[in-house]
Structure 1
Amino acid sequence: MKRTALFPGSFDPFTKGHEDIVRRGLKLFDEIIIGIGRNVRKERYFPLEQMIQLIEEAFSDEPAVRIISYEDLTASVARSEGARFLLRGLRNTTDFEYENGISQVNRFVYEEVETVFLITSPHLAPISSSIIRDLHRYGQNVDEFLPYKLVQPS
């Protein structure tokens, strides 16, 4: 049976920390679907279409990775995509507390799904999408935190 994992998130932006989780996850799974959840109540900083393209370019060397966007419950998307696993990265205990609750709800929605947590590599743990957005918004170069290049705001 093919082991497919859904790696869900807003990925606004997708960071080297996220890339690290996916590349390490490929040692555990046959396929990883990077799922960009769309929240209609929340405006994105980086356009969804741009982020999909940048992530596709970052994984152009990995045929076992594909990218989707969705507007549904994560567990429902996992079920419809045939993913029996949810892949999540943990930077710290705060992430664990948050992710633990979500994993319980996902099991309620889709009983067969298992959440697999990978601890973020230590040198990438300080990176967060919100910090990168703030740095980028104020004209700082954030290339060292991302697996692709961004255009600096004018």
Structure 2
Amino acid sequence: MRTAVYPGSFDPITNGHLDIIKRSSKVFDELVVGVLVNPQKKGLFDIEERVELIKKAVKDIPNVKVESFSGLLINFLRQKHAKVIVKGLRAVSDFEYEFQMSLMNSKLDPNIETVFMMASAGNSFLSSSSVKQVAMFGGCIQGLVPDSVMPAVINKIKNL
């Protein structure tokens, strides 16, 4: 069975993330969306909320699982018996950083491969940060995040 991990903070999950998840789920037998716990970052949503929002967004994709993790991504891959990391790229600037990370991961475990998926043209401008900024200033985030996630983002921003 070919298992891959799609790691990220997903704060919140966007339609760009969801597109990468859907496309990756067609390539691998199992895709684990690994939601990174970063104690140095204060997110809009806590880790449990992010996991639940992603689970709602992927509920119709049977071979996708969602779990949180902390520490080294390589250790999480070993726990999941995965050999592939999926990374989405929006622009050349994403590639430089992700390429360096893939080299580090390869150094830590030469059996791990990183697969880069290009963002669809309609999602290439999308980031969790831009979604939060648009929402904070009262802009419409419809079409930027999954429909199941939109109310949670709007409510969270209102209650800041």
TM-score interval for Structure 1 and Structure 2 normalised by the shorter chain: over 0.9
CA displacement at 1:143 relative to structure 2:
2.7
What do you get for the CA RMSD once the two structures are aligned?
1.1
2:151 is the alignment partner of 1:150? yes
**Which 5+ residue runs of structure 2 have no aligned equivalent?**
none
CA displacement at 1:137 relative to structure 2:
2.2
CA displacement at 1:46 relative to structure 2:
1.8
1:2-151 paired onto structure 2 within 5 Å: 2-147=1-146, 148=148, 149-151=150-152
In structure 1, C-alpha distance between the alignment counterparts of 2:91 and 2:118, rounded to whole Å? 8
- TM-score normalized with structure 1 length: 0.94
In structure 1, C-alpha distance between the alignment counterparts of 2:128 and 2:61, rounded to whole Å? 23
Q: Deviations over 1:89-140 (max 9, x none)?
A: 1111000001000001111112211000011000110111111111122232
In structure 2, C-alpha distance between the alignment counterparts of 1:10 and 1:51, rounded to whole Å? 8
Q: Which moved more, 1:91-100 or 1:56-65?
A: 56-65
Q: Deviations over 1:43-92 (max 9, x none)?
A: 11122222211111111111200111111111111111111000011111
- Mapped contact 1:143–1:150 kept (Cα < 8 A): no
Higher fraction of helix: 2
Poorly superposed stretches of 4+, deviation over 6 Å: none
SS class of match (2:26): coil
- Alignment length (residue pairs): 153
**Which 5+ residue runs of structure 1 have no aligned equivalent?**
none
- TM-score normalized with structure 2 length: 0.91
Write the letter of the residue equivalent to 2:116.
Answer: F
In structure 1, C-alpha distance between the alignment counterparts of 2:134 and 2:122, rounded to whole Å? 19
In structure 2, C-alpha distance between the alignment counterparts of 1:139 and 1:81, rounded to whole Å? 40
